[in-house]
Each structure stands twice: as C-alpha cells, then as structure tokens.
C-alpha cells in the first residue's frame, strides 16, 4: 500500500514539473523574470549568510574566545539600548571587580592616523587601548612587547604597536623596526611591538591596523563624557 502511494505521489510530482516547464516555455518573459528573481534571492541570502557566519557564528580569532565578554551600560531612559562606558565608570568597575579574570578597554570610536616619513603618506585606521588590552585578548606580539602602565600618561604615550599586515606592506617586514621611530600625525612614535599575522581586531567601522596607548586628558576623566573617548570594556571571565 505504501509503495503504491509513493508511486502515485512521484507520478504527480513529475506531472507538476512538466506542467510548470510547459507554462514557462509558453511565456519566456515570465520565465526570465522568475529566473532573475530566483537568482537575486539566492544571491542575497548567500551574502547575508556569509556576513552572519563571519561576524556572529565563527569564533573570535583569540585564545579562549568563548570567555570574552563585551560589557555595556544601560540607561533607564532608553531600556534595551547598549551604551559605551566613560573612563571613571570603567575605573570603578575595575576597582570593584570580583568576577572577571582581567579587564581592558579600548576607544570605541577609533580614528585614522597619518603615516609619513620614508614612504608615501597614507592614513591607517587605529585605536587607543589600555595597557591590559592585549592581555585580556590573550595575545602576544610577534616581536617586541605590549604597552606599559606608565605609557598611559600624556607625554609618555608616543609608542605604537603595528599589525602584521601593515608592518609587511609599509615597512617590508623589517624586524629591526621595533625600537625605532615612525612618523604619525607629524610626530615621532616608537614602535614597541608587531602583532602576529593571525591577529585581527575589527570593530564597527573596520579592521584596526595600529594601536596606541590611552593617555587620559581632562575630557577623558569626565564621568558624563559622551565624546569619542567614551570607552568600551572588553573583559574575560575569571577561571572557576
């Protein structure tokens, strides 16, 4: 009985396919529209899936990435909306921390830095970060070191860490670049580190290719500051 029913369903399906094909052949214009619509739909869904897969489904390219948490503030006047964090609030959280293994912070805005000197000038996307930023992510430079606590001070912050790609492309992969100065925004910054090739840090407006320490200004220290220097915390859970 089941075999008979399955055979009938298969025969009906074949008839439907033949009927649909005949109708499309009789109306080539409609067939063209149908094919184009189907192609656009498949293409759009493929693009959406690729973005979602890369941004949301794939694990972050950091050790123990499942333990990384991006922390936001909330405003009772706008429930459900995430808000970036001011530096004083970040310091309060860090001082009262009993949950996270380590806490770091980066400038949510980022900016372009003008590189000049021995090669053609170019603008490169970079971001200010705390000295603990790379430790929280669990990554170490390929060459050199990360930032020291004292470099989070105006006047001592003229140091920079470069991405592997920028180092290779602009400076020819010269390992002796660490400890030497490069010109950024008309000032000399000492290169203290080169990140490994697998390290990528992308946030909102694109991938960052260089990092400088956060040297606090008076504006940064305002608890109610909502300017570009309002900061976001990037944290990792404490083991156990």
**pLDDT of 226:** 46
Same domain as 201, residue 232: yes
By CB atoms closer than 10 A (0-12, 13-18, 19+), residue 102 is middle
pLDDT at position 110? 77
The Cα–Cα gap between 140 and 102 comes to 15
Domain match, 152 and 224 both: yes
| Lowest mean pLDDT across 10-14, 34-38, 176-180, 200-204 | 34-38
Q: Percentage of the chain surpassing pLDDT 90?
A: 28
Query: Residue 48: what pLDDT?
Result: 54
pTM over 0.75: no
CB-based contact 81:111 (threshold 8 Å): no
Co-location of 138 and 39 in the same domain: no
The mean-pLDDT minimum among 3-12, 61-70, 225-234 falls in: 225-234
What is the predicted pLDDT for the residue at 184? 94
Q: Which carries the bigger pLDDT value, residue 147 or residue 227?
A: 147
Last residue of a domain, one of 24, 39, 57: 57
The reported pLDDT for the residue numbered 229 is 38
Interval 14-33 mean pLDDT = 68
pLDDT at 177 exceeding the cut of 80: yes
If asked whether residues 52 and 69 sit together in one domain, one would say: no
pLDDT digits (tens, 9 = 90+) for 91-112: 888 888 777 777 888 887 778 9
User: In this structure, are 51 and 75 located in the same domain?
Assistant: no
Same domain, 42 and 69: no
Pairing between strand 181-184 and 143-144?
unpaired
Q: Are residues 79 and 52 in the same domain?
A: no
Does 76 lie in the same domain as 48? no
CB-based burial, 153-188: b 16+ in 10 Å, e otherwise: eeeebbbbbbbbebbeebbeeeeebbeeebebeeee
Scan for tokens 């004292």, then name that residue: 150
* pLDDT of the residue at 72: 75
DSSP 8-state assignment for residue 177: G
In a shared domain, residues 145 and 112: yes
Tell whether 90 and 48 lie within a shared domain.
no
Q: In this predicted structure, what is the pLDDT of residue 230?
A: 38
Residue at a domain's end among 32, 57, 82: 57
pLDDT at 233 over 50: no
Instruction: Report which of residues 194 and 21 the model is more confident about.
Output: 194
Report the number of distinct structural domains present in the chain: 2
Q: Flag whether pLDDT at 190 surpasses 90.
A: yes
Work out the mean pLDDT of the chain and round it to a whole number. Answer: 77
pLDDT attached to residue 52: 46
The answer on 150 and 124 residing in a single domain is yes
How far apart are alpha carbons 106 and 210 in whole angstroms? 12
Q: Measure Cα distances from 24 to 2, 11, 31 in Å.
A: 33, 20, 5
Residues 78 and 130 in one domain: yes
Q: Which domain holds residue 52?
A: 2-57
Going by pLDDT thresholds of 50, 70 and 90, the confidence category of residue 179 is very high
Give CA–CA dist 239/100, Å, rounded. 8
User: What is the mean pLDDT of the segment spanning 223-230?
Assistant: 49
Average pLDDT over residues 73-102: 77
């Amino acid at each position: 009985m089941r075999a008979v029913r399955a055979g009938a369903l298969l025969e009906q399906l074949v008839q439907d396919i033949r009927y649909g094909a005949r109708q499309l052949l009789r109306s080539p214009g409609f067939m063209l529209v149908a094919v184009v619509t189907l192609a656009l739909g498949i293409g759009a869904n493929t693009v959406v899936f690729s973005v979602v897969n890369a941004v949301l489904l794939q694990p972050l390219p950091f050790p123990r990435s499942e333990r990384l948490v991006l922390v936001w503030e909330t405003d009772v006047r706008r429930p459900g909306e995430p808000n970036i964090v001011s530096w004083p609030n970040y310091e309060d959280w860090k001082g009262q921390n009993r949950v996270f293994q380590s806490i770091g912070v980066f400038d949510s805005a980022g900016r372009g830095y003008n590189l000049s000197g021995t090669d053609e000038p170019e603008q490169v996307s970079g971001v200010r970060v705390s000295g603990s930023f790379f430790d929280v992510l669990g990554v170490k430079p390929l060459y050199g070191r990360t930032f020291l606590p004292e470099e989070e001070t105006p006047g001592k912050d003229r140091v920079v860490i470069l991405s592997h790609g920028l180092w290779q492309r602009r400076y020819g992969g010269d390992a002796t670049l660490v400890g030497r100065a490069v010109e950024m925004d008309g000032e000399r910054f000492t290169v203290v580190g080169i990140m490994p090739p697998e390290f990528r840090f992308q946030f909102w407006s694109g991938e960052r290719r260089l990092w400088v320490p956060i040297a606090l200004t008076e504006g940064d220290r305002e608890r109610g500051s909502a300017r570009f220097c309002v900061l976001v915390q990037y944290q990792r859970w404490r083991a156990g």
